[in-house]
Amino acid sequence: MISEPGTIDDLVADAAAAGHQVTKRLVHDWVARGLLAQPQRRRTGQRGSEKALHTGAQRTLFLDLLRRRKPPSVRPLAEFVLVCWLFLGDDDWVSTRQALRALRTYVGDPRGSRAWAKTRAAQFVHPLCDPRLGTARSRRELLQAFTEAFYTGTYDREDLVARCAPQFEDKNAFGNVLRSLERGPVAGQPESLLIHLDVVLQAGKAVQDGDVDQDALEEVRAQYLRMRRADAEWPTQSDFEDAMSLLLVGLGLVVLARSGGLSPV
C-alpha cells in the first residue's frame, strides 16, 4: 500500500518499478474511463501550475490494475474497480464519482462485443451452469440464449423459459449446488430468473442513456451492505463473484422505483 500522493510522473515510475512499461496517455485514458480517479489539482505557484496529485490509494490501485490488465478489454478492470467501491468505497480509495464512470465503462455498448455479452451472461447464470444441473447441451444452450439476451437487450420469453427449465427440474440438486457454492439468493424458477434479467437489462439501458447518477449508486451500495451478514468482516470469494450481478439487480430496482414500474423488454 502506497501512502504518499504522487503526480502522473510518479504513477509511471511506480509502474516501471513493478515491471510495467506505461505512458502518461494510459493514465489519462484510465482516468477518463473511471479506472482511476481524477487527481487533485494544486494551486498555481510562482513558477506556474504544479502537477495534480493522485492519492496513495489510487497509486496502489493503479498497480493492482496493471497486474490484472489483459488488453484490449478494460471492462474487467472496470469490474474490479466497481467491486472495490462496493466493499471499500470512500473518497480516498474509490469514490462514487469514480465508480459511476467505471460503471459506464463496464456496461459500454453490449453490441460492441459478443464475447463481453457472454462474460456478463456467464456471471448471471453461473450457478445454473453447474455440471450437476441439466445436461451439457442444456447448459450450453442456456448460456447461448442469455448471451444473446445481453448482446441484443431483448429476448423471446417463452423460448428462454424453455431453455431454463432443465436446470430447475431437480430441486434437490439445485439446492445442493447453491449450498456447495455458498451463493446468495438465486431465482428458484425460470419465471423469477427472467424478472431478474429484466431488471439487469433495465439497469444497463439506464446506464447507457445517462440516467444513473451518484445518488442511485449510493442507494444500491447501502442496500447491498445492509443485506450482507452482520458478522461478515471481509467479503468471501462468493461475495466477490456475485458482486456485479447483485449490483446491477440492485441498480435496476432503483431505476424502476424511480420510473414507477417494470418496463417490458
Q: Per residue in 77-114, pLDDT tens?
A: 999 999 999 987 776 789 999 999 999 999 987 677 88
Boundary-marking domain end, from 60, 87, 107: 107
Domain interval for residue 65: 8-107
- Give a yes or no: residue 203 inside a domain: yes
- How far apart CA 38 and CA 36 sit, in angstroms, is 7
Q: Quick one: pLDDT band at residue 245, thresholds 50, 70, 90?
A: confident
Joined grid coordinates for residue 254: 432503483
Answer with the one of 107, 122, 137 that is the final residue of a domain.
107
127 with 222, same domain?
yes
Residues 82 and 204 in one domain: no
Residue pair 199/249 in contact by the 8 Å Cβ criterion: yes
Check whether residue 234 and residue 137 sit in a common domain.
yes
Do 35 and 125 lie in one domain? The reply is: no
CB contact set of 184 (below 8 Å; sequence gap of 6+): 238, 239, 242, 246
Contact 212, 206 (CB under 8 A): yes
* Torsion of the alpha carbons at 243, 244, 247 and 248, rounded to the nearest 10: -150
pTM for the complete prediction? 0.85
Tell me the pLDDT tens digit for each residue of 181-220: 655 545 567 888 898 899 999 999 999 999 999 999 999 9
Q: What's residue 244's pLDDT?
A: 86
| pLDDT, tens digit (0-9, with 9 covering 90-100), for 153-183 | 899 999 999 998 888 888 788 777 766 765 5
Are 199 and 217 within one domain?
yes
Query: In the structure grid, which three cell numbers stand for residue 49, read together?
Result: 501550475
Per-residue pLDDT tens digits for 28-39:
999 999 999 999
Do 192 and 218 lie in a common domain? yes
| Shared domain check, 196 and 89 | no
- Which residue did the predictor score with more confidence, 118 or 188? 118
Residue 264 confidence (pLDDT) above 50: no
State the Rg of the chain over Cα.
20
Q: Is residue 138 part of a domain?
A: yes
DSSP 36: S
With bands split at pLDDT 50, 70 and 90, how would you rate the model's confidence at 41?
confident
Q: Are residues 30 and 140 in the same domain?
A: no
Domain count, the chain: 2
Mean pLDDT of 246-255: 90
Q: Are residues 131 and 247 in the same domain?
A: yes
> Residue 196: inside a domain, yes or no?
yes
Name the DSSP class of 213.
-
